[in-house]
Amino acid sequence: MGPIRELVAWVERAGCIVVHCDFAALKVDGFTVQIPDMPPCIFLNRNMPADRQRFSLAHEQGNVVMHQVPSPEMEAEANEFASALLIPTRDIRPHISGRRLTIQRLAVLKPVWRVSMAALLYRAKEISAITNNQSQYLWRQMSSMGYRRSEPPELDLEVEMPTVLPEIVRLHLEELGYSVSDLAHALHAREDDLRTLHPLPRATAQLRVVK
């Protein structure tokens, strides 16, 4: 019930591994890799604003829950899942119903519900909390203020950082005795790629006793 404060933590608790990657060149928000007998891995574009990262994560979690086989409807269904998870109808309706919904109201609700103003406005129309005319009017206002391209920076949310994969890396390096090269080999990855994903210790000179 109500807003989900730490979505990454909940998704990780549900058994997924969340990874932040640089997808600027690919222009994708995220995708999921599911290998039999392995935890689902959800990769998110680290270049996105935090609110968009959260919606993309909820979208990918929807795919994990609902879609074992791809279908033409899966993206729309995953978006519906994300909206229902992050902005549940029963809880949000009193805050976005009728004429009380304004651009200023959307700005106030964004840091509470930790989703974009656009997502809140879309949800309001989706659950019939506002009329079609109200929705169109508010979208025109959003466009005129430039908020459809970029919402006010003062409303930016703090990015939620994954903890499971960094802890796995730390455990292997610090407690299980793996070197960076060992870990890269085990993951079939290049050391540079591993360092891009997570800060890893560089090789340092070792002291030795000289008689």
pLDDT for res 159: 96
pLDDT at 148: 94
Per-residue CA distances from 88 to 1, 78, 167, 209 (Å): 7, 15, 32, 64
Give the model's pLDDT for residue 98.
Answer: 83
pLDDT, residue 204, reads: 44
List all residues 6 or more positions away from 29 whose beta carbon is below 8 Å from its beta carbon.
23, 44, 45, 48, 52, 56, 59
What is the reported pLDDT for 116?
A: 97
What does the pLDDT profile of the chain (211 residues) look like in tens digits? 889 999 999 999 999 999 998 887 778 899 999 988 999 999 999 999 999 999 999 999 999 999 888 889 999 999 999 999 999 999 999 999 988 899 999 999 999 999 999 999 999 999 999 999 999 999 999 999 999 999 999 999 999 999 998 888 888 888 998 888 898 898 888 887 777 666 665 544 444 455 5
